[in-house]
Amino acid sequence: MGKILRVDLDTRRVSTEELSDTVVEKYIGGNGLGTKILYEETTNMTEPLGPDNLLIIAVGPVTGTRAFNSDRFDAVTMSPLTGIYAESNAGGYWGGVFKKCGYDALVICGKSAEPVYLSITDKRVEIKNAKSLWGKETFEATEILREMEGKTCRAAVIGPAGEALVRFASVITDGMHGRTLGRCGFGAVMGSKNLKAVVVNGNRPTEIADEEKMASTLKKLGPLMRDQPTALRIGGTSGGVEGSESIGNLPIKNWNQGSWPEGAKKITGMTMVEEALVKRYHCGQCVINCGRVVRAEGGPYEGQEMAGPEYETMGLLGSNCMIDHLRTVLKANELCNRYGLDTISTGSVIGFAMEAFERGLISSQDLDGIELTWGNGPALLKVIDRIARREGFCRVLGEGVRKAAEQIGGNACEFAVEVKGLEPPAHDGRARFTVALGLATANRGACHLGAFTHDFEEGLVIEDLGTPGLPKRFTTEGKAENVFMMQNLMCMFDSLSCCKFGLYGGLTVNPLIDFLNAATGWDLDHTAFFETGERIFNLKRLFNVRVGVSRKDDTLPLRMLTHRRGGGTNELPPLNIMLSEYYQCRGWNEFGIPTRERIRKLGLDNYIPY
Ligand code: SF4
């Protein structure tokens, strides 16, 4: 059905293998396929930053077709930040162009003796010298690669942070206006392999099994996709900052403060639109257009054009650090993208460090004279710079919140906000109970995208999900089943490599099945679709069980479990009750281990590590 491209950076061997229909039927593509390969070809002894770790990038059966929101790509590895399963996906155009090179997945192993980049086209694959690119920031490296490889190429690039092995280093596609593999430290994995970039340039048409079905699904869905997600189109994801603050969802002062309406108003995407918007942009095959290009006017960053921060970035680099100066957040976002740093983990670890500074656990002496006080914009920017270069004490911050807290000592672990070693996005489990359960059980650590329930609890309803809507936030009723179903659905989004924001425009279960059937010629139904999602979710869990994950890890930060912060919510999530119900839905035992019976039912017999 498709092809897997393999590159061994130790031996510089490049090979391809056929992707069997059976594998695609069971794991689809994207992170389903990636997880299968990762499980089979790594062990619990694999070092995330060692040559044996794999970097797997995969796209789905609908990537490269006309299906809406279908040009994303997914990456899978063992995370240097958490030591467990890692996944990340990005929009932009890289995924669609990679597919048009003729491949469905790229598996990279080994470590090059010197800096290299991969050049992949629809005619050849080459490992090229990247000595002249090493040390360059992502935007500059991307421009140089475009000069060398042609203007139509698309590049996924690491910056100085990835080269320096900062554990939450990211991978930036397409430079300044691009999209990012942000979470879990994929940039560090590339850095550990001496791999600066993966450049793709292809133009092969993607075959469709049933053009008529594709056309009719596009026709039916088109008006909804163009008209419905207006809030996302107008304000971008960061347009939701004020609404989020009002219900107690926004991280404020290292997740400690309940309300901050005056600050939220200054950094919301709507203010950004009024004060700084240059234009909107979109990923391949998307009609929603949630991307933003902004220009800083006035102040020290006068005239600079840059990508507009997403909601998560506003939350973590803004309110979590009490920064209410919009242009400082714009600049902080830009610096993270230039250096190749995940904005969520960066804002989290700096908010954590600000609290440690306030409590006297670290001092300006540790920080070469920087007064890391709440709301101090210049200090924020200096610390970002030092984290990216692993300078001085900021080297510790570049290890992530969990490891930084362990090294700082004292009571730092009590205000370290992370789950399984991953810092949470800007969604608080105290504001919505499905979010609490989703953050606790996501396979990569604190992640809202693994269940993507935040707008669907006391809000939007996905009619064809097959479960009742959730009218109330602060009850446990129906929450476990909802998270179970949504996680399985999200595994399918990530295995088709489609954008989840499509849900706001009607790209729900049935249209997604229609796109998949049109691309493959299958006749998959609702039941088989969800069973496939469940299989993929369980395989990720089995990977984590193999490295020691169990119920003890399916938890929330102490602050989210015990601190009533007031403002939009004064609730605490009853996690243990929901967790037990959730394990029952999943057919796992009380310790969070999938039962053999359920695993066999899902056809995963070969992957039981116990
Ligand atoms: S909704 Fe936004 S992130 Fe998703 S595909 Fe469209 S532009 Fe990209």
Structure-block tokens of residue 456: 């669907």
SS3 365: coil
* Protein residue closest via CA to atom 8 of ligand 1: 283
Average pLDDT in the 57-79 region?
96
Q: Which residues contact 184 (CB under 8 A, 6 or more apart)?
A: 77, 79, 81, 82, 86, 87, 88, 168, 342, 422, 444, 445
Q: How far apart are CA 375 and CA 383, in angstroms?
A: 13
For 245, 509, 521, the CA distances from 526, given in Å and listed in that order, are 36, 8, 16
Structure-block tokens of residue 262: 């005056």
Q: What are phi and psi of 419, to 5 degrees?
A: -130, 125
**DSSP-H helix ranges across 70-192:** 94-99, 138-149, 160-163, 186-192
Instruction: Give the pLDDT confidence score for residue 25 in this predicted structure.
Output: 97
Q: Which residues contact 515 (CB under 8 A, 6 or more apart)?
A: 62, 65, 67, 68, 70, 214, 217, 496, 498
Q: How far apart are CA 482 and CA 359, in angstroms?
A: 40
The response to whether residue 501 sits with its C-beta less than 6 Å from ligand 1 reads yes
The response to whether residue 69 sits with its C-beta less than 6 Å from ligand 1 reads yes
Q: What are phi and psi of 240, to 5 degrees?
A: -90, 5
The CB density around residue 165, as the number of other CB atoms within 10 Å, is: 17
Structure-block tokens of residue 133: 């690119």
Q: How far apart are CA 169 and CA 387, in angstroms?
A: 10
Closest ligand 1 atom, residue 91 Cα: 8
The response to whether residue 508 sits with its C-beta less than 6 Å from ligand 1 reads no
- Percent of the chain past pLDDT 90, that is, above it, reads 89
Q: How far apart are CA 55 and CA 62, in angstroms?
A: 22
Closest ligand 1 atom, residue 229 Cα: 1
Closest CA to 486 of 496, 476, 500: 500
Average pLDDT in the 114-136 region?
98
91 Cα to the center of ligand 1, angstroms? 7
Q: Which residues contact 376 (CB under 8 A, 6 or more apart)?
A: 354
Q: What is the pLDDT of residues 223-270, one digit of tens each?
A: 989 888 778 888 899 999 999 999 999 999 999 999 999 999 999 999
Please report which confidence band the pLDDT of residue 13 belongs to, taking 50, 70 and 90 as the band edges.
very high
- CA–chain centroid gap for 410, Å, is 31
CB 257 within 8 A of CB 567: yes
Would you say residue 438 has pLDDT above 90? yes
Instruction: Give the pLDDT confidence score for residue 301 in this predicted structure.
Output: 63
The response to whether residue 283 sits with its C-beta less than 6 Å from ligand 1 reads yes
Please report which confidence band the pLDDT of residue 457 belongs to, taking 50, 70 and 90 as the band edges.
confident
Instruction: Give the pLDDT confidence score for residue 305 in this predicted structure.
Output: 85
Number of H helices, E strands in the chain: 24, 15
Average pLDDT in the 212-221 region?
96
CB 336 within 8 A of CB 284: no
Would you say residue 156 has pLDDT above 70? yes
For 57, 195, 298, the CA distances from 127, given in Å and listed in that order, are 17, 10, 44
* Protein residue closest via CA to atom 2 of ligand 1: 290
Instruction: Give the pLDDT confidence score for residue 1 in this predicted structure.
Output: 63
Average pLDDT in the 439-461 region?
92
Instruction: Give the pLDDT confidence score for residue 299 in this predicted structure.
Output: 60
The response to whether residue 290 sits with its C-beta less than 6 Å from ligand 1 reads yes
575 Cα to the center of ligand 1, angstroms? 32
* Protein residue closest via CA to atom 7 of ligand 1: 282
Cα-Cα-Cα-Cα dihedral sign, residues 585, 587, 592, 594: negative
Closest ligand 1 atom, residue 282 Cα: 7
Using CA atoms of 59, 61, 62, 65 in order, give the dihedral in degrees to the nearest 10. 90
Beta bridge partners of 77: 86
286 Cα to the center of ligand 1, angstroms? 6
Mutate which of 287, 499, 500, 503 for ligand 1? The one with the most ligand atoms within 8 Å of its CB, which is 499
User: What's the whole-number average pLDDT of the chain?
Assistant: 95
Closest ligand 1 atom, residue 500 Cα: 4
Average pLDDT in the 395-401 region?
98
282 Cα to the center of ligand 1, angstroms? 6
Q: How far apart are CA 161 and CA 16, in angstroms?
A: 31
Structure-block tokens of residue 76: 């899978």
502 Cα to the center of ligand 1, angstroms? 8
The response to whether residue 155 sits with its C-beta less than 6 Å from ligand 1 reads no
Closest ligand 1 atom, residue 92 Cα: 8
CB 90 within 8 A of CB 181: yes
The response to whether residue 499 sits with its C-beta less than 6 Å from ligand 1 reads yes
Q: What is the pLDDT of residues 18-31, one digit of tens each?
A: 999 999 999 999 99
Rounded to 5°, the CA angle 584-590-594 comes to: 70
The CB density around residue 363, as the number of other CB atoms within 10 Å, is: 13
Mutate which of 88, 290, 498, 504 for ligand 1? The one with the most ligand atoms within 8 Å of its CB, which is 290
Mutate which of 62, 173, 174, 283 for ligand 1? The one with the most ligand atoms within 8 Å of its CB, which is 283
CB 149 within 8 A of CB 199: yes
Closest ligand 1 atom, residue 72 Cα: 5
Q: Say if strands 291-295 and 13-19 run parallel, antiparallel, or are unpaired.
A: unpaired
428 Cα to the center of ligand 1, angstroms? 23
Using the structure block, give the residue that is written with the tokens 């840059």.
306
What amino acid is encoded at 587 in this protein? Answer: G
Closest ligand 1 atom, residue 237 Cα: 2
557 Cα to the center of ligand 1, angstroms? 30
Average pLDDT in the 274-281 region?
90
Beta bridge partners of 155: 199
Closest ligand 1 atom, residue 232 Cα: 1
Average pLDDT in the 211-222 region?
96
Please report which confidence band the pLDDT of residue 178 belongs to, taking 50, 70 and 90 as the band edges.
confident
Domains of the chain: 2-201 (3.60.9.10), 230-414 (1.10.569.10), 433-505+525-607 (1.10.599.10)
The response to whether residue 288 sits with its C-beta less than 6 Å from ligand 1 reads yes
Closest ligand 1 atom, residue 284 Cα: 5
548 Cα to the center of ligand 1, angstroms? 35
Please report which confidence band the pLDDT of residue 177 belongs to, taking 50, 70 and 90 as the band edges.
confident
For 15, 82, 84, 257, the CA distances from 551, given in Å and listed in that order, are 40, 16, 15, 29
SS3 201: strand
Instruction: Give the pLDDT confidence score for residue 405 in this predicted structure.
Output: 98
Instruction: Give the pLDDT confidence score for residue 230 in this predicted structure.
Output: 79
Would you say residue 308 has pLDDT above 80? yes
Instruction: Give the pLDDT confidence score for residue 19 in this predicted structure.
Output: 96
End-to-end CA distance of the chain: 33
ipTM of the complex: 0.99
Q: Angle, nearest 10°, between helix axes 509-520 and 211-227?
A: 150
579 Cα to the center of ligand 1, angstroms? 32
Instruction: Give the pLDDT confidence score for residue 410 in this predicted structure.
Output: 96
Instruction: Give the pLDDT confidence score for residue 163 in this predicted structure.
Output: 98
Q: What is the pLDDT of residues 409-436, one digit of tens each?
A: 999 999 999 999 999 999 999 999 999 9
The response to whether residue 90 sits with its C-beta less than 6 Å from ligand 1 reads no
CB 568 within 8 A of CB 467: no
Would you say residue 572 has pLDDT above 70? yes
Q: Which residues contact 405 (CB under 8 A, 6 or more apart)?
A: 352, 412, 413, 415, 416
Structure-block tokens of residue 537: 């979710």
Q: What is the pLDDT of residues 322-357, one digit of tens each?
A: 999 999 999 999 999 999 999 999 999 999 999 999
Q: How far apart are CA 324 and CA 331, in angstroms?
A: 13
List of long-range contacts for 297-301, beta carbons under 8 Å, 24+ apart: 298/327, 299/327, 300/327, 301/327, 301/330, 301/331
Closest ligand 1 atom, residue 285 Cα: 5
DSSP state of 318: I
Q: How many residues does the chain have?
A: 610
What amino acid is encoded at 251 in this protein? Answer: P
69 Cα to the center of ligand 1, angstroms? 7
What amino acid is encoded at 25 in this protein? Answer: E
The response to whether residue 62 sits with its C-beta less than 6 Å from ligand 1 reads no
Using the structure block, give the residue that is written with the tokens 């810092």.
423
What amino acid is encoded at 138 in this protein? Answer: T
